[in-house]
Amino acid sequence: MTSTSLPGGTFNLGDLTVTRMGYGAMQLAGPHVFGPPADRDAAVAVLREVVDLGINHIDTSDYYGPYVTNEIIREALHPYPDDLHIVTKVGALRDAEGNWPQALAPEQLRQAVHDNLRRLGLDVMDVVNLRVGGFDRPTPGSIEEPFTVLAELQQQGLIKHLGLSTVNAEQVAEAQSIAPVVCVQNFYNIANRDDDPLVDSLAAQGIAFVPYFPLGGFSPLQSEELNAVAARLEATPLAVALAWLLHRSPNILLIPGTSSVAHLRENVAAAGLALPDDALTELNIIA
């Protein structure tokens, strides 16, 4: 059963109810999200703890590893609880050197969806995000062709809902003219707030905004103001940054990643940190 005690409560992705406190599975792969983890049993334990905590929103991709993360998810959790919702993304792949080249050709997208289904042991994906931008920012241009491919797979019954990743407002609008969009996953955190207008626009439409790198990603957040607020609240800066995201807008879903059960529990506790009004005022002007 979905927990109602997790920080932030729940949000609806179309007809799917997910906990706003989710889990990003990227770190379950090896270093630099490439190859197997050093401790596969530990990775399995993290996923089982995710479910035990009541989190029912797991974010993944078949190109994490590649393939490794999805295989571990299946090993740990299949057959899946009825209310567990797995969100994947397509539009990139990993080459032999560990780079992340785009893979937006129609046949590449179709293959990616089928690969996710097969490795996860599913007949239909709950949500598939089309990743079209660069590593941390959108690449302007039409996304009509690749998004239409996913819309066709949705019509075939292989995907329940569609989302987007690393896109701008114009690309969101273009996609919506083709098929409904239930979520947008972009680079965003307390110190990187270029998407503030997009967050608010999506909230008004009932569409989820899912920030990746909520804690800064490979370059951890650094802010004197953040540190000062954290010290006053006797919390860590990263805890404050996670809690701020849940306060920022009711449509924001968190997917912080970790390969540690202890760190997973810390992230959940951190997201529930109470932020008084004076702290929110200081935090809101950081960017």
Catalytic residues: 64
Alpha carbons 221 and 214: distance in angstroms, whole number? 9
Strand, coil or helix: 76: helix
The answer to whether 140 touches 174, Cβ cutoff 8 Å, is no
Strand, coil or helix: 200: helix
Decide: residue 217, CB within 10 A, 0-12 exposed, 13-18 middle, 19+ buried: middle
Q: How many residues appear in the chain? A: 287
Buried b (16+ CB within 10 A) or exposed e, 236-245: bbbbbbbbbb
Question: Which residue, among 210, 279, 185, 272, has the nearest Cα to 8 in the 3D structure?
Answer: 272
Strand, coil or helix: 202: helix
The answer to whether 42 touches 258, Cβ cutoff 8 Å, is no
Alpha carbons 82 and 184: distance in angstroms, whole number? 24
Strand, coil or helix: 13: strand
